[in-house]
Chains A and B, each alone.
Chain A
Amino acid sequence: MSVLELRDVSKTYGEGASQVHALRNVAVSVNAGEFVAVMGPSGSGKSSLLTIAGSLEQPSSGEVLIGGTPLSTMSRNDRARLRRRTIGYVFQDFNLLAGLTAAENVTLPLELDGTPVRTARAIGLQALNELGLAERAGHFPDELSGGERQRVAIARAVVGHRNLLLADEPSGALDSVNGEAVMRLIRTACQRGVAGVVVTHDAQLASWADRVIFLRDGRIVDQTAPPEGPESMLSPSRQA
């Protein structure tokens, strides 16, 4: 089932001679459990695609559907609720609130959505525990390492029953081992049924995805075929 669908989406900024076409007639569909990476050079429209997919921005033309419902038919309040309940965001600079502990950062979207504090806290602690952060729950962001902060951001993005995870260069500031750990977490979330979209210019990170879409000058120019299963990839010597 398609969790996210972009139908013929275009986005332009500015007018007249200074008009910039950030996206041109983009069509993408991401199914539940699928992990898609979007690659492209700076200015190719990667970040616009993600903010439009996450209803943080509206397309100039075309339609975005989340769980089959067109965003254009929703009220502002409905879209805000969708962002709190359905969509998780992970940004390059983590965007954690400095005055809240790791656990409070994770539970904030649940509490904003009306989940009772004790229930939210239990769910948040479980999410942190699954990411190996149980003992850091009471720490503030500036007491955590970069890798830990990004894991908190991922816990916040997947907590509750979110089924769409959108990430913009989620391991941009991390070294390759921590970056790999972040991609493993996103992959694990997708294996539980979350639809994941990661935009990155990093080929090693993109190679964690099931499908890689190449964006250039606001257009999708190419994509990789879904990889084969692990068994078929082993060389004869490894299969022996």
Chain B
Amino acid sequence: MLITGYYTEYDNRRAGPMSIRHALLALLSEGPKYGLQLRQEFETRTGEVWPLNVGQVYTTLQRLERDGLVESDGSGDDGPQKGFRITPAGSDELAAWLHTPPDLSSPPRDELVMKVLIAVHTPGVDVGEVVQSHRRYLIQLMQEWTRLKEYSADRDLAFALVVDAELFRLDSVVRWLDAADGRIKRASTDPRPAVRAGFPKAPKTAEVRP
């Protein structure tokens, strides 16, 4: 099943310890809570797309406590009834995290981009067909997400936001495929010999000035 497989991959790649850490701080900024309650609320707030296990919650809470960002009620027992509250340092950390853009400066090593780049230079391969098979797969995934949105997103804002994020991400990949398709087609019908210009030297560090 496409989406089930996709969820698993998504969990591993995206829900790293950093986002759980700050999501727990955000939940505690509303008031003191128990560990079990934190897990349930985390899953509800993220549209239940990122399931958490109890171990992840307690490990993260222990680290937050060690770093002085949360305090426990000190009952000594690590069970589900142990309560936690956020510290002033934790509130500062949460505010800083919410306002800091994630690092999107370096392009990810994208398997799909690699496949298309390789297909262009592989003899006997129809690049158009390669592109189309990926396009069809992506649109089918988008149809499934759209169906989920149709059936459940009206009642669940968090889930609708997560589904939108996924649809926009997949959409951007389809648009890249469309652009690649057009570019490859034009290159193949262009009578001029392909002159490969030297790449401009990439700057060592990207600087963004306002």
Contact = CB atoms under 8 A, between A and B. Distances in A.
A203 interface: yes
Contacts of A76: none
Interface string A26-42: 00000000000001010
Q: On chain B, which size bracket covers the interface?
A: 20 to 34
> Which of the listed residues A201, A203, A238 has the most CB atoms from chain B within 10 Å of its own CB?
A203
A97 B127 CA distance: 46
A54 B167 CA distance: 31
A237 B135 CA distance: 28
Given A41-B178, A203-B174, A235-B7, A225 B148 contact: no
Contact of A41 (B48, B171, B181): B181
A230 B148 contact: yes
Given A233-B147, A237-B51, A238-B48, A222 B136 contact: yes
Contacts of A224: 136, 139-140, 143
Contacts of A184: 150
A214 to B, nearest CB: 7
Nearest to B167: A204
B4 A236 contact: yes
Contacts of A187: 150
Contacts of B143: 207-209, 212, 224, 227
Interface of A: 39, 41, 184, 187, 201, 203-204, 206-209, 212, 214, 216, 221-225, 227-228, 230, 232-238
Nearest 4 A-B pairs (CB), nearest first?
Answer: A207-B142, A237-B51, A203-B174, A207-B146
